[in-house]
């Protein structure tokens, strides 16, 4: 084949590109303002003013003017940066010019198209210090829009101007020598800005810079809003302050040792421990928790809501939180705080109870990337792990407060008991005084006695009510747990029944269609046996299911060995064979525990299904259960040779909703349930060194004998 002379051809942008980069990318006005204010920050501005003129109702004079005193641009900057889509200038130079050296927040080189969301026409005026002239540049988005409309009417093949062919006018104006900065004058404003809108803009802009920020204090960044509304004539945007929090948590990291601080709750103590870094990278985290009282105070004082956890990169907010939604219920919850499973149960916190700042940086967290449309983050491992890390800390905080409340309840209970005692001794004292008292005093004392009796009555009633309430809430919690484990079991059960019923159904059908037929006799025999076998399977499953219907507070004497053997060799036998798992049970024969059967079964049930999941894909699978007895307690070791538990996960495997096996259907309930059950028996559970080598997990459970 003969090749002709090679030529080249280039990509072009249709005129509609202005829409793609502007109004269709930046979906709301506040984000658009943010983008432009951030540009001022990146340009070393100390002051930026956002001025709204004639914006309610809209007239020909409606304008939004964003003015900063940053470094400004020279003509070559306009030519090579401002007018270049996706310019790399801020990716090359990640720090703003001396002496500020701010970490620049822009990166993608499209932020300036946000103007299009605010109004159709832009006049940019900019000047560097020392220059004598202002450079002025006009961009008329409505011209692009008209062009686009006209092009739609033309034949597709016809030659027409591209986005990059449109000419934008520029000229020079006089300016004073020491003036510097950039002014964006946006006219043909798209939408009315009501006082509410301005108030929103104010509130959101107050969150632009992190309150814990490392933005150098000697180079502050001030934002001012000017709008024709009372209180906004010339208003400085103050940083969002935080006060009245019930609890403040600060977590940091150690770059030298490469460790990340995380929270760990242990019986009323909230510790900060150091762990290896997670895939999201090292970061700082500040969480403020507000209880009901603190929330009321906060709202009253700051006249704003508590609105969850925000993410700051190098001191400047990442964009998704900029979106202000008037109805807080509809506010974005990109961390998924309010979407966690069983939200509302188990005393969990939501974004309405928490304020917080996550401080990430370019340096430590390069893989956390904001999506170009400013609506969230690129969904990758780093982001997923960041989300998890934050939720884990909240879970620890929840667990801590749950414990504190429990202790409080105990204290109340014993205080009530103490009051009752005091009353009794008071009555005794009075009785002894009464013996020798004068008739008048006796009369008075009798009155006091009557009143004391009344008080005693109400204290006694309180004690009773309290006990009742406690019992009720305990029952409620047990019910939740039963429901959750029932859910897991139901999945397994329905899978099993589907198979079994299918088998029986087709067997019966075959009989029904073909019997009698001497030639098929051998088949009928086999089928009859199958039906019998499958029915037995079904019966066992139903028996197990029935357990859930039984009351679960009764204590009974349980032979631990029998219980484990029953689980291993009856209930789970099929699963084990199917998965190729062999089992070792080494428990003393005469070990009798006086506990609630269902609770103990729950523990083993969950440990077994945990192990099955951990053994997926392994070879020579083994599950082992052994016990060591002393005069005071029994220690149970439950081991498998599965994937094991990573050092970094040891602290969190028992956390509710922590799961490494989501793909196998793990909901992160199992080990949490094991732990709460064990603790309800005054026992302890921990991750021990793996008994089976070279890999695997061992749980050590210690249960005291009841005296």
CB 696 within 8 A of CB 644: yes
Q: Is 622 exposed, middle or buried (0-12, 13-18, 19+ CB in 10 A)?
A: middle
**Percent of the chain as helix, strand, coil, to the nearest 5:** 45, 20, 35
Site string for other proteins, 625-644 (x = CB under 8 A): --------------------
Decide if residue 665 touches other proteins (CB under 8 A).
no
CB 585 within 8 A of CB 565: yes
CB 553 within 8 A of CB 593: no
CA distance 363 to 254: 14
CB atoms inside a 10 Å sphere around CB 210: 23
Interacting span for other proteins (CB under 8 A) from 141-149, 352-360, 501-509, 688-696:
501-509
Q: CB 618 → other proteins: shortest distance, Å?
A: 8
Q: Which residues contact 215 (CB under 8 A, 6 or more apart)?
A: 102, 209, 221, 315, 316
Q: Which is nearer to other proteins, 373 or 487 (CB)?
A: 487
Decide if residue 617 touches other proteins (CB under 8 A).
yes
Q: Which is nearer to other proteins, 88 or 506 (CB)?
A: 506
Interacting span for other proteins (CB under 8 A) from 305-313, 458-466, 508-516, 625-633:
508-516
Decide if residue 616 touches other proteins (CB under 8 A).
yes
CA distance 515 to 528: 12
Interacting span for other proteins (CB under 8 A) from 37-45, 271-279, 327-335, 521-529:
521-529
Decide if residue 539 touches other proteins (CB under 8 A).
no
Site string for other proteins, 558-597 (x = CB under 8 A): --------------------xxx-----------------
Q: CB 486 → other proteins: shortest distance, Å?
A: 19
Tokens 């059908």 sit at which residue? 509
Decide if residue 402 touches other proteins (CB under 8 A).
no
Token representation of residue 209 = 């810079």
Q: Which is nearer to other proteins, 340 or 503 (CB)?
A: 503
User: What count of residues does the chain have?
Assistant: 707
CA distance 127 to 133: 7
Q: What is the DSSP letter of 353?
A: T
Q: Which is nearer to other proteins, 513 or 707 (CB)?
A: 513
Interacting span for other proteins (CB under 8 A) from 212-220, 230-238, 363-371, 526-534:
526-534
With CB under 8 A, what is the number of residues at the site for other proteins? 25
Q: CB 580 → other proteins: shortest distance, Å?
A: 5
Decide if residue 495 touches other proteins (CB under 8 A).
yes
CA distance 657 to 348: 12
CB atoms inside a 10 Å sphere around CB 347: 11
Q: CB 616 → other proteins: shortest distance, Å?
A: 5
Token representation of residue 182 = 């950039």
Bridge-partner residues for 704, per DSSP?
Answer: 633
CB 290 within 8 A of CB 298: yes
Q: Out of 527, 608, 634, 681, which residue is the one contacting other proteins (CB under 8 A)? A: 527
CA distance 269 to 400: 7
Q: Out of 433, 441, 505, 542, which residue is the one contacting other proteins (CB under 8 A)? A: 505
Alpha carbon of residue 314 to chain centroid:
21
Distances (CA, A) of 593 to 113, 149, 556: 71, 82, 8
Q: Which is nearer to other proteins, 498 or 706 (CB)?
A: 498
Decide if residue 514 touches other proteins (CB under 8 A).
yes
Check the CA dihedral 127-132-134-135 and report its sign: negative
Q: CB 575 → other proteins: shortest distance, Å?
A: 10
Cis-peptide into 694, omega within 30 deg: yes
Decide if residue 89 touches other proteins (CB under 8 A).
no
By CB under 8 A, the residues from 182 to 211 that bind other proteins are: none
Interacting span for other proteins (CB under 8 A) from 272-280, 317-325, 459-467, 522-530:
522-530
CA distance 571 to 597: 15
CB 243 within 8 A of CB 272: no
Q: Which is nearer to other proteins, 140 or 579 (CB)?
A: 579
Decide if residue 619 touches other proteins (CB under 8 A).
yes
Q: Which is nearer to other proteins, 481 or 572 (CB)?
A: 572
Q: CB 494 → other proteins: shortest distance, Å?
A: 9
Decide if residue 510 touches other proteins (CB under 8 A).
yes
Decide if residue 236 touches other proteins (CB under 8 A).
no
Q: Out of 84, 325, 490, 501, which residue is the one contacting other proteins (CB under 8 A)? A: 501
Q: CB 496 → other proteins: shortest distance, Å?
A: 9
Decide if residue 509 touches other proteins (CB under 8 A).
yes
Q: CB 615 → other proteins: shortest distance, Å?
A: 8
Q: Which is nearer to other proteins, 13 or 510 (CB)?
A: 510
CA distance 702 to 707: 15
Q: Which residues of 536-551 are buried (b: 16+ CB within 10 A; e: fewer)?
A: ebbeebeebeebeeee
Chain residues in the site for other proteins (CB under 8 A): 495, 498-499, 501-503, 505-507, 509-510, 513-514, 520, 523, 526-527, 530, 533, 578-580, 616-617, 619
């Amino acid at each position: 084949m003969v090749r002709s002379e090679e030529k080249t051809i280039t990509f072009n942008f249709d005129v509609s590109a202005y829409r793609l980069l502007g109004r269709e990318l930046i979906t709301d006005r506040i984000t658009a303002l943010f983008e432009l204010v951030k540009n001022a920050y990146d340009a070393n501005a100390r002051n930026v003013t956002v001025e709204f003129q004639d914006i309610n109702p809209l007239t020909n004079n409606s304008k939004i003017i964003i003015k900063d005193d940053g470094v400004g641009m020279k003509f070559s900057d306009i030519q090579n940066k401002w007018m270049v889509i996706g310019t790399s200038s801020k990716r090359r130079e990640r720090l703003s010019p001396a002496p500020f050296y701010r970490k620049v927040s822009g990166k993608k080189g499209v932020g300036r198209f946000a103007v299009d969301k605010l109004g159709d026409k832009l006049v940019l005026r900019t000047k560097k210090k020392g220059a004598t002239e202002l450079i002025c540049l006009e961009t008329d988005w409505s011209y692009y829009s008209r062009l686009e409309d006209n092009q739609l009417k033309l034949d597709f093949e016809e030659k027409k101007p591209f986005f990059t062919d449109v000419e934008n006018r520029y000229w020079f104006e006089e300016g004073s020598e020491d003036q510097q900065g950039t002014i964006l004058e946006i006219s043909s404003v798209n939408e009315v800005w009501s006082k509410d809108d301005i108030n929103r803009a104010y509130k959101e802009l107050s969150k632009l810079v992190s309150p814990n920020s490392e933005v150098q204090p000697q180079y502050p960044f001030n934002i001012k809003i000017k709008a024709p509304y009372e209180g906004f004539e010339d208003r400085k945007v103050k940083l969002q302050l935080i006060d009245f929090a019930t609890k403040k948590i600060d977590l940091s990291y150690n770059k030298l040792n490469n460790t990340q601080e995380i929270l760990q709750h242990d019986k009323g103590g909230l510790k900060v421990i150091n762990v290896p870094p997670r895939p999201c990278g090292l970061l700082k985290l500040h969480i403020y928790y507000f209880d009901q009282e603190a929330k009321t105070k906060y709202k009253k004082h700051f006249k704003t809501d508590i609105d969850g956890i925000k993410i700051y990169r190098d001191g400047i907010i990442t964009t998704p939180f900029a979106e202000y939604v008037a109805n807080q219920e509809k506010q974005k919850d990109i961390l998924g705080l309010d979407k966690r499973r069983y939200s509302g149960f188990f005393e969990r916190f939501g974004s309405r109870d928490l304020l917080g700042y996550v401080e990430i940086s370019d340096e430590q967290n390069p893989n956390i990337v904001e999506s170009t449309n400013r609506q969230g983050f690129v969904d990758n491992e780093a982001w997923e792990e960041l989300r998890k890390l934050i939720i884990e800390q909240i879970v620890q905080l929840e667990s801590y407060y749950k414990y504190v409340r429990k202790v409080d309840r105990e204290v109340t209970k014993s205080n009530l008991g103490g009051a009752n005692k005091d009353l009794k001794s008071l009555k005794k004292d009075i009785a002894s005084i009464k013996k020798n008292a004068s008739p008048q005093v006796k009369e008075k004392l009798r009155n006091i006695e009557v009143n004391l009796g009344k008080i005693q009555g109400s204290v006694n009633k309180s004690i009773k009510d309290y006990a009742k309430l406690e019992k009720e809430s305990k029952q409620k919690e047990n019910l939740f747990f039963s429901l959750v484990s029932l859910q897991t079991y139901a999945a397994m059960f329905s899978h099993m029944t589907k198979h079994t019923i299918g088998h029986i159904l087709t067997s019966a059908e075959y009989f029904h269609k073909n019997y009698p037929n001497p030639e098929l006799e051998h088949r009928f025999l086999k089928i009859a046996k199958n039906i019998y076998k499958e029915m037995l399977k079904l019966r066992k499953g139903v028996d197990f299911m029935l357990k859930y219907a039984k009351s679960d507070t009764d204590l009974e004497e349980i032979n631990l060995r029998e219980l484990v053997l029953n689980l291993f060799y009856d209930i789970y036998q099929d699963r084990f064979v199917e998965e190729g798992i062999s089992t070792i049970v080494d428990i003393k024969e005469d070990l009798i525990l006086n506990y609630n059967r269902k609770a103990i079964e729950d523990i083993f049930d969950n440990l077994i299904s945990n192990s099955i999941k951990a053994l997926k894909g392994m070879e020579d699978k083994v599950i082992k259960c052994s016990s060591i007895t002393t005069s005071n307690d029994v220690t149970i070791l439950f081991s498998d040779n599965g994937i094991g538990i990573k050092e970094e996960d040891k602290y969190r495997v028992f956390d509710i909703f922590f799961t490494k096996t989501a793909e196998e259907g793990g909901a992160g309930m199992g080990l949490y349930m094991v732990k709460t059950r064990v603790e309800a028996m005054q026992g302890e559970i921990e991750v021990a060194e793996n008994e089976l080598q070279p890999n695997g997990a061992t749980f050590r459970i210690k249960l005291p004998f009841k005296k």
